[in-house]
Amino acid sequence: MDDQSPVYTLDEALNHVGFGKFQVLLLLFAGMGLVAEAMEVMILSFIGPAIKSEWRLSSGQESLLTTVVFGGLLLGSYSWGFISDNYGRRKGFLGIAVVASVTGLLSAFSPNYMLLMTLRGLVGFGLGAGPVFLTWFLEFAPASNRGMWMVVISIFWTLGTISEASLAWVIMPRLNWRWLLALSSVPSFAVLLLFGLAPESPRYLCMAGRSSDAHHILEKVALRNRTNLPSGMLFPDNNRLDNEFVIPEHKPLLPSSANKMPEVKSGGSPFFMLLSSRLIKTTLLLWVLFFGNSFLYYGIVLLTSELSSRETKCGSTLLFLQKAEDASLYINVFITSLAELPGLLLSAVIVDRVGRKISMTIMSVLTFMFLLPLVVHQPVTLTTALLFRARMFANGTFTVASIYAPEVYPTSVRASGCGIASAMGRIGGMVCPLVAVGMVSGCHQTAAIFVLEVVVVVSVVCILLFPFESKGRELADTA
C-alpha cells in the first residue's frame, strides 16, 4: 500500500455509511435469534406441570428439565463463541440454528422422560447463542449510536417472553404441551431459513486476512443505505499508531498493531487469551458482574412468583393474581415481561449520553433503592410496585452490561469472551433458586432481600473498577 494513500478503518466506514436499511435487516435477523432463545427458555414454566401430571414425575424430575436446559446454555455459550471466533460468525449461526430447531421440534415427539430431558438439554446447547447474535450485530453498528441500537435489539428477548406467554395462553387450554413445544421451535427454523441472507462480519473477515471480502460487504452496506464509503482504502486493523485511538485519562484499550496484519489462530484457545495480562482484570470483573446481574434478575423474578401465592404459611397475601385462576400463570409472565420495557427505554436514552459505566451504576442504585423497603413486609400493592420497578432497572443493567462486554474485547476473542461471561451469568441463574426461593419458602424474606442487596453492591463495585469507558470508541480487532 502506498504510504500516501488515504486509508480508513472499519469504524470510520460504518460511521460514514450510517445506520440504515442494511442494519435494520440485520437487527431483525439477530432479533429472531434472541426471540427463539427467550421462547425456549420460558417454555418450561408452562409445560412443566402438564408433563409432571401426564408422566407422574416427581418435583425433582420436573426441576431437572429446567436444570438441563441451563446446563446446555452454559456449554453452548462458550462453544458457539469459540466456533464464531475461530471459523466465522456465519458458521456459528448455522450450527446454532440446526441444533436448536431440529432438537426443539423432535422434543415435541418425545415418548418418555429421559429422551425429552436429553433433547431439551441439546436445545439449551443450541440456544446458548445470544452472545454470538449480539456480537455479530454490534460489529455492523456505527460507534456513535452503537449503545442505543444494542438496547433496541435486547427488546427482542422481552418480545420472546411475551410471545411465549401468549402462545401458551392459546395452546395449553386447547391442545397440549407437545403442540407448544413444536410451535415454539418456529423462530429457530426461521433463523435457519434466513441464514443464507446473513453476511459475514467484516471485522472477522479483516482479522482473517480477507480484506477484499470485508470491503465488498461494506460496499453492500453503503449501497443499501444509499450512501458511499469514505475515499481511500480500507485499513483492516482498527488499532492505529496515529494516536487517535486513545481514551482520555486512560491507557489505550489495547496495544497498537498497525504495523502488522491481524492473524487468526484457528483452533487456538481464546480462554487463555482472555486471562492474559492485558485482559484478565476486565475478564474477571465481567464474570462477577454477569453472575451478579443474572442472580439478581432471576432472584427478582422468582421472588415475585413466590410472594404471589395467595396465602403461604408465612402469612403472605396475594400480590396481583390468584393462582387458582387457570390463566394466572400466563398473565403473570405477560405482565412482568412488559415491566421490563420502561427499563430498556431508559437504557436506550442514557447509554450513549452518559456512557456504559454510569448507566449501569445509575440503574443498579435504583434497583437497590426499590428492593430496600422489602427488607420488611409491605402492603400488597406497594410490594408489587417495588418488585416491578426493581425488575425494570435490573434488566436495564443487564442489558447495558451485554453491550459493554463485546465492546471491550478484540474481534479475535469477542464472541468467546461474551460467551464465557454469559455462561457465568447462567451459573448465577442456576444458583439463584437455591438461595432466593429457599429463603422465601422458609419464611426468610428479609434474608433473601438482604442477599440480593449485597449482590447489587458487589456489582456496582465491579462496574466502578472497570478500567475504561467504551462509549463512542472504535472496536479493537487484535490483542
Q: What is the mean pLDDT of each run of 10 residues along the chain (479 residues)?
A: 66 83 90 86 76 79 76 80 82 85 90 90 81 84 80 85 83 86 89 87 84 86 85 66 37 39 46 78 91 86 58 43 47 69 83 87 92 79 79 87 85 81 81 66 72 92 87 70
pLDDT, position 291 = 92
State the pLDDT at residue 440.
Answer: 58
Q: How far is CA 359 from the centre of its chain?
A: 17
pLDDT at 5: 61
Q: Write down the residue that cell numbers 491507557 correspond to.
A: 251
Q: What is the pLDDT of residue 327?
A: 54
User: Each residue of 382-426: pLDDT tens digit?
Assistant: 777 788 888 888 888 888 888 888 888 887 788 888 888 888 887
Which pLDDT does position 441 carry in this prediction?
Answer: 56
Alpha-helical runs (H) found in 307-379: 328-338, 340-350, 356-371
Q: How far apart are CA 189 and CA 194, in angstroms?
A: 9
Predicted local confidence at residue 468, as pLDDT:
79
Q: What is the largest CA-CA distance in the chain?
A: 79
Q: Which among 260, 219, 269, 218 is positioned nearest to 239, based on CA atoms?
A: 260
**Of 336, 463, 335, nearest in space to 390 by CA:** 336
Q: Which residues pair with 148 in a beta bridge?
A: none
- What pLDDT, in 10s, does the model give residues 208-234? 888 888 888 888 888 888 888 877 787
Q: Which residues are within 8 A (CB) of 418 and not within 5 positions of it... i.e. 6 or more apart?
A: 81, 131, 134, 135, 402, 405, 406, 409
8 A C-beta contact, residue 152 and residue 351: no
What confidence score (pLDDT) does residue 244 get? 38
Asked if 336 and 304 touch (Cβ cutoff 8 Å), the reply is yes
The single-letter code of the amino acid at 454 is: V
Q: Considering Cα of 456, then 460, then 461, then 465, what sign does the dihedral take? A: positive
pLDDT of residue 329: 57
State if pTM tops 0.85. no
